[in-house]
Structure 1
Amino acid sequence: MDQKRLPYGTWDSPITVDLVAEGDGSPAHLGMVGQELWWTEPRPAEGGRRALIRRRPDGSTESVLPEPWNPRNRVLEYGGTPWVGTMTESGPLIVFSNYADQRLYRFEPDSGRAPEPLTPSPRFPAGLRWCDMVIDEGRGEVWAVVEDFLGERPTELRRLIAAVPLDGSAVADRTAVRPLTSDEYRFTTGPRVSADGKRAAWIVWNHPNMPWDETELRVAEITDSGAFSGERTIAGGDGESIVQVEWAPDGTLVFAGDRTGWWNLHRIDPDSGETGPFFERSTQEAEYGGPMWTLGKRWFQLLPRGEFAAIHGKGESRLGFFDGWAGGSTDYAPGPWTDWTGIIANDDWVYALGASPSSGYEIVSYDSLAGEVDGVFTEHVDKVDPTYYPVPEHRTFAGPNGREVHAHVYPPRNPDFAAPEGELPPYVIWVHGGPTSHVRAVLDLELAYFTSRGIGVAEVNYGGSTGYGREYRNRLREQWGVVDVEDCAAVARALADEGTADRARLAIRGGSAGGWTAAASLTSPASERLYACATIKYPILDLSNWRGDKTHDFESQYLESLIGPSLKVPGRYRERSPVNHAERITAPFILLQGLEDAICPPSQSEKLLAAVEGKGIPHAYRTYEGEQHGFRKASTIMDAVLAEHALYAQVFGFEGPERFELELEG
């Protein structure tokens, strides 16, 4: 079929905002209940809640928790593993945290009874939160991380590991909740219990460290009464980040730590302290772990015959199977998947979430004995012809002083259209959040919405991103608002210099920390007049008012490393904040903000609005009731995409989305 020639940005596409909203999010929190696989799935059309899915051995699946139940929690505000289960004589027993009240509930789906609370009502709304759990059947308890608010301020809290009775006795008697650890550490992960049930291991850290800066590996003996005894640190500290630990069958511990400059695998004897690489090639330049933004994540799993499975790689990730302590050979999971997350194991079976540039995350079952894929659950289904999907170009650009900047570049792609001869496409720089995070080259229908209409996208893994080792990650230390801005600008300029992008039609967009970089790029001399417009979602804009009690506890001291010690360099906080340089903004922008955001509250956006008032800068501010940090409701997702599309249409000079008006004030 001959392609029609129409200007970039005006192409018709079957990828609608309805499809974008419908495809938002992915399965998560895989777990085994006996021989059954369970997980959570997003439900944008149901107010953004998550459903709990059960897959029986015969392959049938069902959603076991109807509305309004929502297995999700707010520990660290980003959440942690929200459920755990075990198989009893009468069927599955599930314990989950419910988003509305943050309490733990007991649920037996085969009993016909509704979920029953296990924890008391909090003293403050949603002030007693739980995640990263393990069930102790013998003692009739569930052990979990608890985030206990002691006052109304967001930093007035403690975290520890506690035991909750499964009989519901703690609902009326708060003292029935049994502390297992002290609260001397500000942050903790859930316990990993040894095969013989006699020891526990977990990870802790303290402010001002973030978990990718420095953590400690703790162990303790478990007494006959179920108490932790002899609690001690056996690894970590001194600038090492440990992000996962598991017990090996022989009673040693395997952990992912970055003492080599990469999150590699190491082993340690908890008695002698003897430590070393877990296998001969485990100190390669590859990550076997990632940033702990949520609690309970797993990047590797030990298998019963001595083998292990691991998600690892440099930049992109692979699912590999290793032959055990010798580490002599490696097999990779066959199939089209180019990125992996969420690994779990059950005997010789491994389950993980795999995705690619042409498919969203699917649950893949792998038979490690046969060395083959056994099945694909939640299989990706193309709602449109895949020729409308963008194809990434993995690029490495030269940043200031020749430093490497990694990015995925997605040129416009639509089988029905081509641009007039000689026209260059508009391009949008997409900035990921975190900033200690990473963007993966997998199918994103929101991205495809734009590329299929003739708007190119470049996703930048700027300095500070994970996936490339600690040195690359540390580039952002005290340089937030500098390195990220410069790296994104370097990619944008390179695309224009090489004739890939229209220099006059460059834009930048991001949410959370990405919103910060987008806004900072409008006020920084390093990117002066580079971008024609910006989309800024739930951003950080005023550093002096985004620390301590002005944000949530997890990131309340994050700026100490991203910007510098606040007592030593207070001027740096003022100088880098976009709200203090509104006079430098010349490009139109839109602000998109959830009104219940506890991480980047609306006050951040409102400060920028006040700063630009009367300065003649075209802008729009759209707010969303019931949305927290990141958008989950279908209606919000659709409105946000349409608003962004309408901004580009007005600035770049093409027809905007039908039946949608975006009024830019200024």
Structure 2
Amino acid sequence: MVTTLPYGSWPSPITAEQLATGGTRLGAPRLVGDAVWWTEGIATEGGRQAIVRSAGAVDVAGRDDDAAAAAVTVLPAPFNARSRVHEYGGASWTVVPGAAGTGSEPPLVVFVNFEDQRVHAVREGEQPRPLSPLGPEVDSAHGPSLRWADPTPVTLADGTVEIWWICEDHTGGDQGPRADADGAPHIERYVAAVPLDGSAAEDPSAVRRVTPASRFVAHPRISPDGTRVAWLSWEHPQMPWDGTQLHVAPLAGGSAGTGDVIAGGPETSVLQPEWLDDQWLMFVSDASGWWNPWTWSAEAGARQVLELDQEFAGPMWTLGSTWYQVLDADRALVQYGRAAANLGVLRLSTAELTPLECPLTQISAALVRADGLVVLAGASPTQFAAIHTARLELAAGHGDRPAAATDPSTAPTSAGDGPSAVLSSLTLLRSSRNDAPDPGALPVGESIEVPLAEGGVVHAIVYRPRQDGMTGREGDLPPFIARVHGGPTGHVPPVLSLPVAYYTSRGLGVVEVNYGGSTGYGRAYRNRLRGQWGVVDVADTVAVMEDLVSQGIADGKRLAIEGGSAGGWTTLACLTRTDTFAAGVSSFGVAELEKFRLDTHDFESRYIDGLVGPYPERRDLYVERAPLNHVDELEVPVLLLQGDEDRIVPPSQSELFRDALAAKGIPHAYLLFEGEQHGFRKAESIIRATEASLSFYGQVLGFSPACVPVLELQRD
């Protein structure tokens, strides 16, 4: 039996409570001994990030009879393993090699605690103890003045095992806090070793600097013989997807000099250096226009392994991001693709790329143990984000050092009589959702390419309203919501999303727009947004919506738009500069640029130079592009959602726009969430924001959503 109800008013089994508490934010899997460890975000504990482990050993068949899939919490409350380096953080914990536990002694875990940003050490069942000093108060830091991220276990030439960290230092050293020539606070970042004995907790001089300071550093890697170190650096105004430099320097006395820059530059993004052996280094570079694999040795120099119009990496928004793992001196497990991720084994000496059958279309981590156990974190169009295990079988390899790059057109696609690598079917270890709705209430994505008038296409994923047993009224078309991702250098993969299903199961359509500037489609597509933020992203989003209307998929009079951060900017820009949309929801969105560039965090403080233009030389563009300066052209209601502790897009951005809406008498609502930063982690915040958005859309787009509180709109 099919029930007919207006689009948007369908009763749905998917609730805001499910979005907030029914799922678990999974991340950062690690292989520790015979177990798998990872992090889990706990919304009911203020969104803290806990370190957990499998309850038992995990073998190449999946897991043993000890119910390894059950999570055991290692990091006790209220500790929160989360870094504030760059404000986005990244890798925040690791396990000390050789400390995987002997007898009854648990492994030693080191992590950075969110509240004070100090490095701590802990064994399961104990209370954490600090290892790093507490930085002095620095007003411009807006929080702890010493911050740590991306812990990297290393073994020095004498066999000493230690942990290297990226340190973000707001203290100014011996000269104290000060401003640089451009007026910005002086901040240094460098690789540093924090002693495991706790001596640095009260004595900052016990922290040893490993690399010279740069504005930004990432991905330190020591050679297997302990004699050289490789790392990345970049300076303002570059972002890591614009241009980075790859350094290699000898390591003497535990520290390195400036060394040599062997790859990269202001217009070439180099990512993830990894040593293959004592002489050869692998990395990813977009010198060809796509992030492709390269190798380097002092004797042979830098060589491209193969050239494909595929991405073997992505934007380094968080420190510790990786896209491949070295298997031996000649092979690596790699991720590659365009809109979706593929998994394969790359033989460096021949440029042979063997695809592996894997259902995941988005992979956030891929780890291989010596016995062939693979741990994958990711999602697919039919599976929510989860951690899986599998078995990787490799044909016997020679472990050769990589030769000069081979022409991929002549490289074999497989070795011998069969594939050189085979991945078994996946075994679920831990799902982000134990309350997955009936598949009949979940959306089905359709990837589309919408032609642009000036040539080229814009990429998007369309989700039509869907719930088994429900249909809209005959002759009606559904309202459609455009969701625009943040960044703006970001990407929405084709994976199952419960926030999307929250809308589609109620009879609303959703389209995720990968506008120009998005990653996954090569550097030229990313560069479409250079100098054009607020222009290309707006035009691309409008083009997608017009295409849906012209095809009779969406109701052209009931189009809405929502986005967070840079997606909030695009939302506000679309609302103020076009008449396409009837409503919009901006979550911690950028509303203007002159105040924003002064108030935002250091990592993105010069990002706008590339997105809009240098300041003050192109102040005219900063003024002209800002949605705040075009509120007089706005005629439709707006909902603003904001965290009160957001350092990336401060509350002042939302409040300026709120005040402008009130001055013009435009219906609006502004919800400020206490204790939230850039993105909401608390259960109560997620529930309120989700239900408020649905109520808002119902009031503006003309439907009556079931079972949500009515959001009161203001005019002044």
TM-score (structure 2 length as normaliser) = 0.88
- Alpha carbons 2:262, 2:302 under 8 Å: kept: no
- Alpha carbons 2:277, 2:329 under 8 Å: kept: no
Which residue in 1 is equivalent to 2:299? 272
Which residue in 2 is equivalent to 1:123? 136
Which residue in 2 is equivalent to 1:144? 165
Pairwise CA distance, 1:323 = 4.1
1-structure distance, mates of 2:303, 2:153: 31
Matched position secondary structure for 2:689 = helix
1-structure distance, mates of 2:21, 2:329: 41
Which residue in 2 is equivalent to 1:445? 498
**Residues 403-448 of structure 1, C-alpha deviations (whole Å, 9 max, x = no match):** 3000000000010211111110000000000000001121111110
Question: Which deviates more from structure 2 when the two are superposed, residues 501-510 or residues 116-125?
Answer: 116-125
Alpha carbons of structure 1 residues 75 and 238: separation in structure 2 relative to 1, 3 Å? closer
**Residues 255-306 of structure 1, C-alpha deviations (whole Å, 9 max, x = no match):** 111001000001111x23522122xxx3110000010110111101111373
Pairwise CA distance, 1:466 = 0.2
Which residue in 2 is equivalent to 1:361? 385
Which residue in 1 is equivalent to 2:514? 461
Match of 1:255 among 252, 259, 283: 283
- Alpha carbons 2:292, 2:311 under 8 Å: kept: yes
Question: Which deviates more from structure 2 when the two are superposed, residues 231-240 or residues 480-489?
Answer: 231-240
Match of 2:588 among 538, 541, 559: 538
Pairwise CA distance, 1:37 = 2.1
- Alpha carbons 2:212, 2:258 under 8 Å: kept: no
Matches within 5 A, 1:422-571: 422-524=475-577, 527=578, 529-547=579-597, 549-571=598-620
Q: Find runs of 4+ consecutive structure 1 residues off by over 4 angstroms.
A: none
Matched position secondary structure for 2:621 = helix
Which residue in 1 is equivalent to 2:360? 337
Matched position secondary structure for 1:191 = strand
Which residue in 2 is equivalent to 1:618? 667
- Alpha carbons 2:242, 2:266 under 8 Å: kept: no
Matches within 5 A, 1:41-440: 41-55=40-54, 56-57=56-57, 59=63, 60=68, 61-85=71-95, 86-88=97-99, 89=102, 90-109=105-124, 112-124=125-137, 125-136=143-154, 138-139=159-160, 141-150=162-171, 151=177, 155-183=185-213, 185-223=214-252, 225-229=253-257, 231-249=259-277, 251-269=279-297, 271-272=298-299, 274-278=301-305, 282-304=306-328, 306-334=330-358, 336-347=359-370, 348-369=372-393, 371-373=423-425, 375-379=427-431, 381-440=434-493
Matched position secondary structure for 1:331 = strand
Question: Which deviates more from structure 2 when the two are superposed, residues 10-19 or residues 355-364?
Answer: 355-364
Matched position secondary structure for 2:602 = coil
2-structure distance, mates of 1:383, 1:331: 30
Which residue in 2 is equivalent to 1:602? 651
**Residues 298-342 of structure 1, C-alpha deviations (whole Å, 9 max, x = no match):** 1011113733211110111112223453233513133x3222122
2-structure distance, mates of 1:504, 1:375: 46
2-structure distance, mates of 1:169, 1:425: 63
- Alpha carbons 2:464, 2:504 under 8 Å: kept: yes
- Alpha carbons 1:221, 1:230 under 8 Å: kept: no
Match of 1:635 among 671, 684, 688: 684
Which residue in 1 is equivalent to 2:419? none
1-structure distance, mates of 2:15, 2:238: 42
Alpha carbons of structure 1 residues 129 and 532: separation in structure 2 relative to 1, 3 Å? same
Matched position secondary structure for 2:338 = coil
Amino acid in the other structure paired with 2:369: N
- Alpha carbons 2:631, 2:660 under 8 Å: kept: yes
Alpha carbons of structure 1 residues 207 and 230: separation in structure 2 relative to 1, 3 Å? closer
- Alpha carbons 1:214, 1:239 under 8 Å: kept: yes
Matched position secondary structure for 1:402 = coil
2-structure distance, mates of 1:659, 1:484: 32
1:583 and 2:632 aligned: yes
Pairwise CA distance, 1:195 = 1.9
Alpha carbons of structure 1 residues 265 and 436: separation in structure 2 relative to 1, 3 Å? same
Question: Which deviates more from structure 2 when the two are superposed, residues 243-252 or residues 463-472?
Answer: 243-252
1-structure distance, mates of 2:128, 2:333: 35
**Residues 209-249 of structure 1, C-alpha deviations (whole Å, 9 max, x = no match):** 000110000112223x3222562211111511012111113
Which residue in 2 is equivalent to 1:644? 693
**Residues 341-376 of structure 1, C-alpha deviations (whole Å, 9 max, x = no match):** 222232233322121122112212232216314632
Pairwise CA distance, 1:156 = 3.2
2-structure distance, mates of 1:188, 1:32: 26
1-structure distance, mates of 2:328, 2:442: 40
Which residue in 2 is equivalent to 1:27? 26
1-structure distance, mates of 2:693, 2:453: 30
- Alpha carbons 1:7, 1:420 under 8 Å: kept: yes
Amino acid in the other structure paired with 2:320: G
TM-score (structure 1 length as normaliser) = 0.95
Q: Give the alignment's Cα RMSD to 1 decimal.
A: 1.8
Pairwise CA distance, 1:621 = 0.4
Which consecutive unaligned segments of at least 5 residues does structure 2 have?
A: 138-142, 172-176, 394-421
Question: Which deviates more from structure 2 when the two are superposed, residues 18-27 or residues 573-582?
Answer: 18-27
- Alpha carbons 1:15, 1:448 under 8 Å: kept: yes
Pairwise CA distance, 1:381 = 4.0
**Residues 493-513 of structure 1, C-alpha deviations (whole Å, 9 max, x = no match):** 111111100011000100000
Alpha carbons of structure 1 residues 333 and 95: separation in structure 2 relative to 1, 3 Å? farther
Which consecutive unaligned segments of at least 5 residues does structure 1 have?
A: none
Amino acid in the other structure paired with 1:41: E
- Alpha carbons 1:256, 1:263 under 8 Å: kept: yes
Pairwise CA distance, 1:152 = 9.0
Amino-acid identity (%)? 43
2-structure distance, mates of 1:23, 1:438: 25
2-structure distance, mates of 1:659, 1:480: 35
1-structure distance, mates of 2:662, 2:689: 23
Pairwise CA distance, 1:173 = 0.7
**Residues 566-597 of structure 1, C-alpha deviations (whole Å, 9 max, x = no match):** 13211110011111111111010100000000
- Alpha carbons 1:390, 1:413 under 8 Å: kept: yes
Pairwise CA distance, 1:522 = 1.2
